């Protein structure tokens, strides 16, 4: 399934996400967009250790020589491990362009173990019988934090506020990020967050996934917009209601939006 199919739940929801998560009230509509293909030197630190890696990315931003707020875009994870090397940041082109045209520096990057990014796959959650989703999410969140540290030091990025946006596994990593937020993380948008989907409406260790969201919710206070479609077959509405309830009841600061059915929600 393409990134666009999973993150583009609906145009209405996407625009709502942008409106609710906007961190600069006066952002205009950029006419000219500058593109950079970038290899980001990331110093990643998490509970499992620390490593310096190079992560593949593209950066789309208004071509006006002015600093703009940062939006980090985080991809999902294919069900087949053989598809991880085929992942490309250009699959997030349309989403990055949507943010860039609204005045953001949009960075679509690949976490460790995807595409050309170094470091090996860091988001292994173990066996399907007893998955450790909480640790997998934190590993992905560590990549986001490392990229944010590098990007916020760039002269074309505004200082002080940035947002993380993700879909599926990238959204799950984004939720984990809010549980231990880096400096100046202003808000987060999660499109259909989760892990462990093996086939339509089947997820390994649903109880462990619910527990991971509850664990994140205990310390997450960053405003989070959670968007899911009625016909999501990775994380269906019944499971999503359990996940959002676990997160919110534990203390997570979440606004949930369920959209009407979008497309077929199947692999393209």
- pLDDT the model gives residue 268: 28
Name the nearest CA neighbour of 171 among 127, 224, 101: 224
Contact 195, 137 (CB under 8 A): yes
81 burial via Cβ count (<10 Å: 0-12, 13-18, 19+): exposed
- pLDDT the model gives residue 183: 86
- pLDDT the model gives residue 10: 41
- pLDDT the model gives residue 267: 32
Rounded distance between C-alpha atoms, residue 93 and residue 76, angstroms: 14
Which portions of the chain are predicted below pLDDT 70? 1-31, 264-268
- pLDDT the model gives residue 64: 93
Q: Which domains does the chain have, with CATH numbers?
A: 33-259 (3.40.50.1820)
231 burial via Cβ count (<10 Å: 0-12, 13-18, 19+): middle
Contact 9, 259 (CB under 8 A): yes
Q: Is the pTM of this model over 0.85?
A: yes
Q: How many CB atoms lie within 10 A of CB 201?
A: 12
């Amino acid at each position: 399934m393409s990134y666009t199919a999973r993150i583009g739940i609906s145009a209405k929801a996407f625009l709502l996400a942008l409106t609710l998560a906007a961190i600069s009230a006066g952002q205009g509509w950029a006419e000219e967009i500058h593109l950079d293909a970038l290899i980001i030197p990331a110093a990643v630190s998490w509970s499992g250790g620390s490593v310096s890696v190079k992560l593949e990315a593209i950066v789309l931003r208004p071509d006006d020589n002015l600093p703009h707020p940062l939006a980090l875009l985080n991809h999902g994870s294919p069900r087949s491990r053989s598809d991880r090397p085929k992942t490309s940041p250009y699959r997030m082109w349309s989403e990055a362009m949507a943010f860039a045209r609204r005045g953001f520096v949009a960075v679509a990057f690949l976490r460790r173990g995807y595409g050309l990014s170094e470091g090996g796959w860091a988001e292994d959650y173990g066996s399907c019988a007893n998955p450790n989703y909480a640790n997998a999410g934190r590993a992905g969140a560590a990549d986001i934090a490392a990229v944010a540290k590098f990007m916020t030091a760039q002269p074309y990025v505004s200082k002080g506020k940035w947002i993380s946006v993700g879909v599926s596994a990238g959204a799950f990593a984004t939720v984990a990020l809010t549980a231990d937020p880096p400096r100046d993380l202003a808000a987060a948008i999660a499109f259909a967050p989760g892990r462990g989907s093996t086939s339509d409406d089947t997820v390994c260790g649903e109880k462990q996934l619910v527990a991971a969201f509850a664990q994140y919710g205990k310390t997450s206070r960053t405003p989070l917009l959670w968007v899911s479609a009625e016909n999501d077959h990775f994380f269906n509405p019944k499971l999503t209601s359990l996940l959002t309830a676990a997160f919110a009841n534990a203390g997570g600061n979440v606004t949930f939006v369920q959209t009407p059915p979008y497309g077929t929600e199947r692999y393209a």
